[in-house]
Amino acid sequence: MKKRWHWLIAMLAVMSLVAAACATDEGVSTTTAAETTETTAAETTETTAAETTETTAAEMDLSGTTVTVFGSESSDEEAGAMQDALDVFAEANGMTIVFTGARDFSDQINAQAAGGNPPDIAIIPQPGKVADFAREGFILPLPDDVLATLEENWDSAWVAFGNVDGVQYGVNNKSDIKSLVWYSPSAFADNGYTIPESWDALKALSAQMVADGNIPWCIGIESGGATGWPFTDWIEDLTLRFEGADYYDQWVAHDIPFSDPAMVAIWEEVLAEWNAPGNVFAIDGSIAATAFGANGQPLADGTCMMHRQASFFSAFLPEGTPTGPDGISVFYFPAGPNGEKPVLGGGTLATAFRDAPEVWAVMQYYASAEYANERQKAQQIRKDGELSGFLSANQNQDLSNYLPLEQEMISIMLDAEVLRFDGSDLMPAAVGAGTFWTEGTSAVNGDKSVADAVAAIDASWP
Amino acid sequence: MSRVAATILGIVVAIGLSAIVFIGINKLFDLAEKRFAIFNAAIGGAASLVIFGLLWGNRLIVSPLLVTLIAAVVGVAVGLGLGLVRHRWARLGIGLAGGLTLGLLAGSALRSVVWPSIEPLAALLGLAAGAAVAAISWQVARRETALVPLLSFWLATGWLFGGWLAADFDGSKAEVLLASAIFGLLAGIWVGTVPYPSGETRGGIAAGSRKYIFLAPALLFITATLVVPLARTIWLGFLSGTPRNLAWTGLTNYRDIFTDPGILDLSEWTLIFSSRLFWAAVILAVIAIGLGVWLGRSGGSGLGTGFSLNAGTAMLIGSAVVLFGFAVFSFIRGTIPNNLWWIFAVTIFSMATGLAIAVLADRAKGENVAKSLIFLPMAISFVGASIIWRFMYVARPPQNDQTGVINTLWVQIGVWSQSETASATISAILGLIVVGLGYLAWRGWQAGNNAVLSGSVVLAIPLVWIMYRFLGPGIGGVAPSPVTGEPIADPILFLTQSPWNNWWMMVVFIWIQTGFAMIIFSAAIKSVPEDLLEAARIDGATESQTFWRITVPQIGPTIGVVATTLIVTVLKVFDIPKVMTNGNFDTQVLANEMWQRAFTELNFGLGSALAVVIFLGVLPIIFLNIRRMQRERLG
Amino acid sequence: MTATTTAGRRPLGPRIYGFLRSIPTWVLWILVVLWTIPTFGLLVNSLRTRDAQRTSGWWLAWQDGANGFDFPTLQNYEAVLGAEATGGLANGLLNSASIAIVATIIPIAIAAFAAYAFAWIDFRGREWLFIGTIALLAVPTQVSLIPLLQAYSSGVRMTIPIIEKTVTIIPDMGLAGTIPAVWLTHTGFALPFAIFLLHNYIAGLPKDLFESARIDGADHFKIFWKLVVPLSIPVLAAFAIFQFLWTWNDYLIALTMIGGNRVALPATVVVASLAGEFGLREHLLTAGAFVITVVPLVVFFALQRFFVRGITAGSVKG
């Protein structure tokens, strides 16, 4: 009896359980796809997916609504331009759109989705993650009108990146092109070099350069914990050229192992080009010691003639380096033996986590040409006349917004006969962001033979 | 400016509210003895508020604000009544009336989603179970408690489960009113039949509640943020699949962890014995033992075992242990050996450097400046640390100037080593220093000062080795080019060359943690009683003898505390490997592996199993430390 | 010991001897310099342009002018302070202050109550409860992040096994994405170490103090308030420094709990995001790191004098 109030606590505990009994019907019926309660998640998703088809964003009154967008663009230029482009749409509709960029976006979006606190829209850089999220029920399929806008503006090859098991989840946002060689047209002209049209011509050109006393390539693959990734881009580009898209797809899915003889041959082809005496600015096996971003300086000052890197490389050129015909320019990384012109691409995809008219309206805006135009304009202002670093493969955008060099890149993208996404982004992280990089680095360093390196990658495939 | 105001307001509200709640509860329970009615009224009101607040929070009642307010008022009234009235039947009346009122209030306000269709059988079963529990606890209490309150309490609980929760929620308005009225009546009987507490009981409430009040906030937070997630983690460790499709797979995750060659690779362990590190360790150990025994015999200042432990021999033994450890860990590879290596190296170096700085800075000129500068890295975030060490470690191709501090020095040493004149000059300077040290050793020997003697010898060893390298095989970051054979710069790839990249990352952590160890050691050293040291000095002990015989034993417990804290911190190390290599190039550690599995790949099962492995790894260390502390308190 | 004290002109031998005897003092300052070089390099580089940082080491900064780079330049600091992405730095610093102040004071208070109870209030199971609390130091806190985020975003629900009804224990309070979520998380995570440290100290206070206070009729609350808190100021300040440093410099917990709500993100996240993709703007981190280090340094210097005495009593008297 002395402990009367102990009973009170016990009572409260019991009652709290009861009080809460079966609150589920009320509590769970929010329309968020990422509802966390594991038991009810599947059903929730299905219902929302069905409902989405009926919403027609364009006719809705969006004023007063707020949409949150989360992405990997975090620097002032990229994130700022993204926000500027979104503000144009937000102001026109009297709504608020808030973009947040974070450096560890890839891990964070996982935590936010699994933790039940997802943004309304996430800009995801890996199609593999879009597929995972779609299968997990975190993200919603596009309603018809958004899909229509997307298909109207984007080539089906690009649209396919956001397609999971026949259902469209992603809206293309940014497009990167990786099959580029950076060079100085004036240096080429001075030496009488012409742009090679095939891999063999490229090899002959580099041999010619060595014979002329020039250094053909700037190559460096150091990138901290991601050291080795530029090597994987070379492998992917050559795989597309030598073995074709079907082989590439099977290889990315690991239906064809890394130890496949054709794959080993590609590795050796790359290493032969890299290790040929005098071929590379990073002399004597120091490729792995050379930061990938450190290639801008020697290319700009003419120490080396060529550098194969994706479209974003312009940002690594020294400040004030002119681009275009009178400065540093690009040519298409040449075709393979069969003459087909494949392009290795990349990019980001917008995906929706909440089913609401305002969210779909923003998604539709992402699919439109207006977004590409506004983003390009905003980013160029922020870059102060330098290359914007933002490319879109949107077919209906106004290309005149771009600087000439970036127009050229876009035309390479749009002309692509075969388009494939960066393979290491599609592989499981243990390989695509792990052993493919590290074993590639070992092979480049000569620490391991190609045979040992590819065997180690195969062994690490989960 | 409004953001500033809002932030300050937020801070004030958060802290103020916490303080008011805590102090308020303390003050409230102070009232229990002398002003029981007020206390009881507050408890009654609070109980109603909690219950109806929960209903509100679960969106189970209509017009929640009004209903909750009414309930709170009724609760206060009942509490006040029971706190004032001592007459038995009047108390029962108050309890019944209050219970019925609250029950009907709840019943009429509840939404239809919880209207039960009462099943008589289940209800009876629930009531019977309640009665049984009451009977058992009455027996356990040796029938000394009053039966009626006990019985009514458990009947109410039984009714709640049997009559309500077990039912389907498709009943009528009448049923929900009945269900809540019955519950209210039973609960009313309970509170109404509890006798008015005696003065002694009230005093007991006031005093006995303190431990709960003092512990409750901490336990609440710990349970919510650590215990429950830990339990969930242990559970998830037995599951596999994607976040929403987890299935029980038993110990599969643990089997996967311990059969993964990336976790533990013993295939090269025999190479330990052919490594130079190993033999250097053996040689150092032999020198240390020889020197120590010889000094112990001749100087007679040993620890009673004939072995002289002083700065010199301690450094030699320490170096031998470190070299031996590095020899072992550079050949036994994998995530777990990496973690052990981290623990071994970071703990030893952080503690040794921290202790050395604390001792050397003690009473030195500019002590505070020195200590602040050593502490500085602790104040720098990991974002800053990662960029700082980029500038230390970066390597550039041979034809470029190095921009990393260490590689610049290393290449420069290599350049000197290639040049005959530079080699000769450096060797001559080093030789002079060695001669000076030899002289110092001789003086120390004459003065019978073992510390000076052995310290000089120890300092001379690496200098002699460097001289040998300069004159003989060469040293530094210049190597013949594999292509042309010309000597070119050969910078170290600090983060990609396994296994030493592990060590370069540990250096960063040591850089940070030394400040932590130094501050704590410094404080401990300052607390060593001055008279003890004076007495030792008067007895003619040298500085080093005073240190080993008085200071070290006095700060013994601190060494334990620092070691434990460091080991715990190191086993959970995560930021540095994640930022610097992300676990690539054989630098994986358990915490980063866990992060990658759980967060990067959303493989909660495997990630959780790894977390459990870390937890179980740290647990024994903490347990030992607590036991040691408890023994000290008792002894 | 005697050789160095001889007065007057000393012969060469003893002078060399004295010089060499001072080796330990040099060692101290050599270590201090070694420890400071990395940070000093960061300071110098924060005043250099990106291309200058890339092409030569910071010790060659004095040649920057000759190489066509500005030095010293404040352009990195301008870029950092003027950052607008991720909410901007001023906003981030405010959020950091809010997070660090509350997440320092509240855990200290809670841990002090608990440490007092563990040390001076007798109750059954005290030792085991204490051991259990401290054992939680071993939990890798990252595992708590997702469950906590779930609790903040959608409440806590539990399914009662037999009757198969789901029960909401904590309703959805919309805490996810807000600073209070970070407060709660930091508070919980800090408690095992805080209780460990404070308990060591508080348990070591002399017993007679408490007995005489109790004879005077003081209750636990009064003893705690009037006796324990004033006597424990040193250890409280000591823990305050550590906790402030950790919460101010924390990146992961804040980012996870706040996620895409950029107005609430702290300065560490703002600065980290300046680097951009592929570390394009990584040179800005030099200036950013300095800007966010200023505040913890001020706190360290302000509390340093308590700090030294604080840990002592706790850890030494154990």
Q: Which residue segment(s) compose the domain that A193 sits in?
A: 180-332+427-460
Whether A280 and A351 share a structural domain: no
A228 close to A441: Cβ distance less than 8 angstroms: yes
CATH number at residue A195: 3.40.190.10
Same domain, residue pair C98 and C64: no
Alpha helices in B35-172 (DSSP H): 36-57, 64-84, 88-109, 120-140, 147-159
Q: Which two tokens stand for residue C216?
A: 């005077």
Q: Does A448 lie in the same domain as A308? A: yes
Q: What is the pLDDT of residue A186?
A: 93
Please give the mean pLDDT across all residues of chain A: 85
What's the mean per-residue pLDDT of chain C?
83
- List the subunits that have 3+ CB pairs under 8 angstroms with A: B, C
Q: Is the model more confident about C308 or about B154?
A: B154
Is the pLDDT at A75 greater than 50? The verdict is yes
The closest CB to that of B493, out of A19, A132, A288, belongs to A288
Nearest partner of B222 among C130, A125, A243, judged by Cα? C130
Give the Cβ contact number of residue C290 at 10 Å.
Answer: 21
In a domain, B328, yes or no: no
Instruction: Say if residue A203 is in the same domain as residue A295.
Output: yes
A-chain residues within 8 Å CB-CB of C79? 76
CB–CB of B236/B605 below 8 Å?
yes
Instruction: Please give the pLDDT value at position B510.
Output: 95
The confidence score (pLDDT) of residue B395 equals 86
pLDDT digits (tens, 9 = 90+) for C256-288: 999 888 899 999 999 988 887 777 788 888 999
Q: Given a contact as 3+ CB pairs under 8 Å, which chains touch C?
A: A, B
CB contact under 8 Å between B557 and C318, yes or no, is yes
User: Please, which pLDDT band fits residue C311 given cuts at 50, 70 and 90?
Assistant: very low
Neighbouring subunits of B (3+ Cβ pairs under 8 A): A, C
Give the whole-angstrom CA distance, residue C178 versus residue B21.
22
Nearest by Cα to B349 from C35, C6, A458, A309: C35
A133 and A254 in a single domain? The answer is: no
Closest CA to B597 of B613, B585, B618: B613
Sign of the alpha-carbon dihedral angle for B338, B339, B342, B345: negative
C178 in contact with chain B, both atoms CB, cutoff 8 A: no
**C160: three-class secondary structure by DSSP:** strand
pLDDT of residue A59: 56
Low-confidence spans in chain B with pLDDT less than 70 = 1, 298-306, 482-483, 544, 633-635
Specify whether A195 is located in the same domain as A164.
no
**Euclidean distance between CA atoms A365 and B402, whole angstroms:** 48
pLDDT of residue C197: 84
All residues of chain B having their beta carbon less than 8 Å from the beta carbon of residue C292 are 381, 384
Q: Are residues C55 and C197 in the same domain?
A: no
Residues C108 and C54 in one domain: no
| Residue B370, amino acid | A
Last residue of a domain, one of C31, C56, C73: C73
- CB distance from B182 to chain C under 8 Å? no
- Chain C: give the shortest CA distance to residue A70, in Å: 6
CB C264 within 8 A of CB A74: no
In a domain, residue B607? The reply is no
Closest CA to C202 of C91, C299, C315, C122: C315
pLDDT (average), residues A272-295: 84
> Looking at C14, C45, C73, which one is the last position of a domain?
C73
- Considering its fold, how many domains does chain A have in total? 2
pLDDT per residue as tens digits for the range A179-221: 999 999 999 999 999 999 999 999 999 999 999 989 999 999 9
Collect all residues of chain A within an 8 Å Cβ-Cβ radius of residue C274. 74-76
Q: Do C176 and C240 fall into the same domain?
A: yes
- Does one domain contain both C167 and C264? yes
Q: Are residues A287 and A214 in the same domain?
A: yes
**Distance (Å, whole) CA A377 – CA A403:** 10
- The answer to whether A132 contacts B390, with C-beta atoms less than 8 Å apart, is no
Taking 90 as the threshold, does the pLDDT of residue A50 lie above it?
no
Between B604-634 and B252-259, two packed helices, what is the crossing angle to 10 degrees? 80
The pLDDT tens digits for B323-375 are 999 999 988 888 999 999 999 999 999 999 999 898 888 877 888 888 889 98
- CB distance A280 to A152 below 8 Å: no
Q: Compare CB distances from C169 to A16, A101, A103 and report the shortest one's residue.
A: A16
Judged by CB atoms within 8 Å, which residues 105-144 of C form the interface with B?
Answer: 105-106, 109-111, 113-114, 116-118, 121, 123, 127, 129-131, 133-144
Is A277 in the same domain as A319? yes
* C165, β-bridge pairs: C160
Summarised one tens digit per residue, pLDDT across range C132-175 is 998 998 898 888 998 899 889 888 777 766 666 676 777 777 88
Q: Which domain holds residue C183?
A: 74-317
Tally the domains of chain C: 2
pLDDT grade for C215, boundaries at 50, 70 and 90: confident
Is A46 a domain residue? no
Contact assessment for residue B353 and residue C31, using Cβ atoms and an 8 Å cutoff: yes
Q: Is the pLDDT of residue C239 over 80?
A: yes
Residue A32 lies in a domain: no
Contact at CB, C177 and A20, closer than 8 angstroms: no
A311, part of any domain: yes
Range of the domain at B457: 396-492
C73, C93, C127: which is the final residue of a domain?
C73
Is there a domain that residue A22 lies in? no
* C135: chain B residues, CB-CB within 8 Å: 619, 622-623, 626
3-state secondary structure of A280: strand
Question: In angstroms, what is the C-alpha Rg of chain B?
Answer: 36
What pLDDT score does C50 carry?
A: 87
The answer to whether residues C168 and C292 belong to one domain is yes
Q: Answer yes or no: do A263 and A324 share one domain.
A: yes
Give the residue with greater pLDDT, A15 vs B362: B362
Looking at the fold, whether C229 and C283 belong to one and the same domain comes out as yes
Do C22 and C113 belong to one domain?
no
**Cis omega (within 30 of 0) on the bond before A462?**
no
Question: Are A150 and A170 in the same domain?
Answer: yes
Please list every residue in chain B whose beta carbon sits closer than 8 Å to the beta carbon of residue C16.
436, 439-440
Q: For residue C271, which of A54, B556, B382 has the smallest C-alpha distance?
A: B382
CA distance B389 to B407: 12
B597 touches B606 (CB < 8 A): yes
Q: What is the DSSP letter of B401?
A: P
The residue of chain A with its CA nearest to that of C83 is A76
The per-residue pLDDT for A24 is 37
Same domain, C67 and C183: no
CB within 8 Å of chain C, chain B residues 503-522: 511, 514, 519-520, 522
pLDDT (0 to 100) of residue A60: 66
Judged on CB neighbours under 10 Å (0-12, 13-18, 19+), A250 is middle
- Note whether B562 and B521 are within 8 A (CB): yes
Q: How many contacts (CB atoms, under 8 Å) link B and C?
A: 343
Q: Are residues C46 and C177 in the same domain?
A: no
Q: What is the mean pLDDT of residues A428-457?
A: 89
Q: What is the CATH number of the domain that holds C271?
A: 1.10.3720.10
Residues C109 and C157 in one domain: yes
Does residue A4 fall inside a structural domain? no
* A305 and A325 assigned to the same domain: yes
Are both C243 and C99 inside the same structural domain?
yes
Pair (A265, A241) in one structural domain: yes
> Contacts of residue C175 in chain A, CB cutoff 8 Å?
none
